[in-house]
Structure formats: structure tokens, C-alpha cells
Amino acid sequence: MTDRLQEVLDRVTRVRGVRGVLLVGVDDGLVVADAVMEGVRANAVAALAASLVQRMARATGTSGIGQPGFLHLEAERGALLMLAVRERLVLVAVAEPGVNVGLVRLELLRGGAEVR
Amino acid sequence: MADDIRSLTAELARDPDSLAFLRLGEALRAADQLDAAVRVVQTGLERHGGHADAHDLHARILIDAGNGAAAGDAWARALALAPRHVGALKGLAFLAFQEGDLDTALDRLETALSENPTDPSVVQALHAVREEAARLEAEIRLRAGADIFAGFEGADHGLLLVSERGLVLGGALRDPSDEDVAEEVAGYVAGAAREATRAARLLELGDWRSLVVEAADGHLHVSLPTSDTVLLVKRERAIPAGRVGLLARRAATAARVWVEAQR
């Protein structure tokens, strides 16, 4: 993992309420790089996020609105925020409930621009 | 044909009590001489009022003459005399079908078929009525589903209610070229909803509330109005995500009301 990539991930984790950030391969659901707190199951997050992105890509493609750029799964006790950063990679943030989604999105977008 | 009519008329004149009036009435009907046919059959019925075939013939002449109500009475009399009279059953099924009473039409034709399983006209009529019943049922389902989001902005192209198995329950979804993509997307969205549920459970996030996707040319908002349905809202990119969320919440309420009403 390059220092630059680690720096990108660390910067996102500095947003209050973010418990971890991962760079994930969409096709295989494997972790490329991660910065997660203890208790966050990086492998499970990666696999599930990739699967979700793949499925929603079929829905958006067929709906005629193109490929997904940003996805937000909001749940009772937290959220998954996903940003497509390259052809087959996605940045995934695991967040607590009440996190400032706009800020996380912004940091993911900044980070995504650097990963590209 | 004219010879038949002449010889049957002569036969009936020789023996007014004979059943020749049935063949004569049929021949006159075939020759489209409906007034004469009615007179012959009515005269015959004065002597043979207990003959079910005569009432059936009378009914068929009346229906040819456009008198459905009288034909129905005649077939009912035939059926009273012979409860499994195939001609009368077919005739009454036809009238029921014309009135849109498909259940009665099906009942009559099924009875007729059980009486004569090889009658091609009964088989054909039964097939036609079943097709119409299926078409009508599909239309009713569609109409009921379309009403879920009546009055909602974009209800005709970007609001879809789907069962957990991916079947379209209501609403509509069209791509930018106005093609109906509801069925296809319904399957994908139901799969994504299941995946979201699995992810939320495995990552101990609790129940999920919404899945919002920003794509190049639009937004998708997915939620679960009930435990066994999935709601999809699609909007153009220019519509703010907050407004899409608001619309999704209102649509989810409408969907819940609709689902409850179906139970």
C-alpha cells in the first residue's frame, strides 16, 4: 500500500463518526487497502459493499441513468457509504448513525480524486 | 336449400304433429328467413312444448334476429327441461359472456364440456372465455397496482413497488427512451434489497432504512415500505436528493396503505 493511499484513507477516517474506510475491488469484493477501527470486519464490509454496488449497477444501467457513482446505505445503527473511484474500484466508509453524510461524501470524493 | 324448405313444408302440412318443424325451422334459419323460422318453431312448440331442442332452436333464431333477452328465456326453458342440454348451456354462456359475467359463462361451458367433451365449439368457446378472464384479471391487477401512486409526481415513469421476490406490484419505471423497464429492474432491486438486508445484519447495523444511489444521469432511492415489499424511486440528477427522499417517504406511506388494503 502506498503512503499516498494510506493518507487518503486516514483523512476520511478523521471525519467524526467514521469507523473505517476501505478501497475494495468491485469484481472480487477483496480489500485493496483499509484503515478501520477495531471491531470493523474489513473483509465482510468489502464483500458486501462490492455485491451491493454490482447489483445496483444493474439497476441503474437498466434504468438508463448510467453507472452508480455514490451509494448510501442508511441503517438503524450506522451506514455504509460507497464511492466508485475507478473502473472497478470503490471506496467504502463505515459510519456510525448520525454521521455527517455530506462531509464523508466530500472526503470520499477528494480521496477518490487522488486514488484515480 | 329451397327444395329442402319446400319438401319440409309439405311434410309438416301433411303431419302437423310431426317433428319436421325442427328441420324446417333450422333450414329457414340457415336461409336467413328468420321471421318464417320463428313462426314455424313457435307453432311447433304449441304442440311440442316439452321438447328441449325446439326451445334451443327457437333461442338460436331469436339470437340471430338480435333478440338476446328472448333468446335467454328460450334457452332457460330448454335447460329447465334438460338441465345438461349442450346447446342451451352454450347459448346461455354466450349471453353471460356478452354481459361480462365470465364466471357464469365458464360454469355453463364447463358443464357443457363435461356433457360432451369432444364438442369442438364448446372447447373453443371455453378457451376464448378463459383467455378473456385471464386478460381481465391481469388488467385489474395492473389497474389496482397503478393506483398505488395515483397523484404522485412521476408515478407514470419513476415509482415502482416490487415484491420481495422481484415481481412488480404497482407503479411504473421507464428509461430515458420511454421504454418500460419495470419488470427487469424489479428483479435487480429486489436482489439489491436482499443484499442490503444481509449487509446490515452481518455488519450489525440493524434494520436498513434506505439505499440511495447517485448515478451519472439520475438517482435511485430504495426502501422497504413493508417487510415484504421494496419501493424504488427514480429521478433525474437535477432533482435534489433531499426532495427524492421526501417523495420516497410519502410514496412508502401510500404503498403501506395499499399493501394493508390487499390483506
Asked if A62 lies within 8 A of B208 by C-beta distance, the reply is no
As a whole number, mean pLDDT of residues B190-195 equals: 94
Distance (Å, whole) CA A104 – CA A15: 7
Q: Tell me the pLDDT band of B143, cut-offs 50, 70 and 90.
A: low
B109 by Cβ neighbours in 10 Å (0-12 / 13-18 / 19+) ranks as: buried
**C-alpha distance across the termini of chain A, in Å:** 15
- Partner-chain residue, chosen from A48, A51, A69, that has the shortest CB–CB distance to B203: A48
Q: Which helix (H) or strand (E) holds A89?
A: strand A89-95
Amino acid at B73: D
CA B113 and chain centroid, separation:
20
Distance (Å, whole) CA B253 – CA B263: 16
pLDDT score for B140: 63
Amino acid at B216: A
Distance between B135 CA and the closest CA of chain A, angstroms: 27
Listing DSSP states for A16-77 in one string gives TTEEEEEEEETTT--EEEEEE-TT--HHHHHHHHHHHHHHHHHHHHHHTS-SEEEEEEEETT
pLDDT score for B141: 62
Asked if A44 lies within 8 A of B202 by C-beta distance, the reply is yes
Q: Is the pLDDT of residue A51 over 90?
A: yes
CB of B220 within 8 Å of a chain A CB? The answer is: yes
Give the full edge-to-edge strand order of the sheet including B229-236.
A31-36, A18-25, A89-95, A78-86, A68-75, B208-215, B218-226, B229-236, B158-163, B168-173
As a whole number, mean pLDDT of residues B43-48 equals: 94
CB of B195 within 8 Å of a chain A CB? The answer is: yes
With left for phi above 0 and alpha for psi between -120 and 50, is residue B174 left, alpha or beta? beta
- Beta carbons of B244 and B263 less than 8 angstroms apart: no
- Beta carbons of B174 and B161 less than 8 angstroms apart: no
ipTM: 0.94
CB of A102 within 8 Å of a chain B CB? The answer is: no
pLDDT digits (tens, 9 = 90+) for A54-107: 999 999 999 999 999 999 999 999 999 999 997 789 999 999 998 999 999 999
What residue ranges in B76-217 does DSSP mark as E strands? 158-163, 168-173, 208-215
Chain B positions in Cβ-Cβ contact with residue A63 (cut-off 8 Å): 173, 175, 181, 185, 218, 220, 234
Q: Tell me the pLDDT band of B150, cut-offs 50, 70 and 90.
A: confident
Q: Which three cell numbers stand for residue A70?
A: 455514490
Chain A positions in Cβ-Cβ contact with residue B210 (cut-off 8 Å): 72-74
Q: Tell me the pLDDT band of B193, cut-offs 50, 70 and 90.
A: very high
Write down the mean pLDDT value for chain B: 90
pLDDT score for B145: 56
Chain B positions in Cβ-Cβ contact with residue A101 (cut-off 8 Å): none
As a whole number, mean pLDDT of residues A26-40 equals: 93
Q: Is the pLDDT of residue B137 over 90?
A: no
- Beta carbons of B19 and B49 less than 8 angstroms apart: no
Residue of B107, B110, B133, B134 whose CA lies nearest to B123: B110
Q: Which helix (H) or strand (E) holds B218?
A: strand B218-226
Distance (Å, whole) CA B233 – CA B209: 14
Chain A positions in Cβ-Cβ contact with residue B216 (cut-off 8 Å): 65-67, 69
**In terms of CA atoms, which chain B residue is nearest residue A43?**
B203
Give the A:B interface size as CB pairs under 8 Å. 123
CA separation, residue B28 to residues A81, B2, B6, B54, B61 (Å):
83, 9, 10, 14, 9
Chain A positions in Cβ-Cβ contact with residue B188 (cut-off 8 Å): 55-56, 58-59, 62
The share of chain A scoring above pLDDT 90, in percent, equals 85
Chain B positions in Cβ-Cβ contact with residue A55 (cut-off 8 Å): 188, 191-192, 195
Q: Is the pLDDT of residue B1 over 70?
A: no
Q: Is the pLDDT of residue B54 over 90?
A: yes
Asked if B211 lies within 8 A of A45 by C-beta distance, the reply is no
- Partner-chain residue, chosen from A51, A74, A78, that has the shortest CB–CB distance to B210: A74
- Beta carbons of A68 and A88 less than 8 angstroms apart: no
Asked if A62 lies within 8 A of B202 by C-beta distance, the reply is no
pLDDT score for B112: 93
Amino acid at B184: E
Q: Is the pLDDT of residue B144 over 70?
A: no
Place of cell 493518507: A7
Coil, helix or strand at residue B175: coil
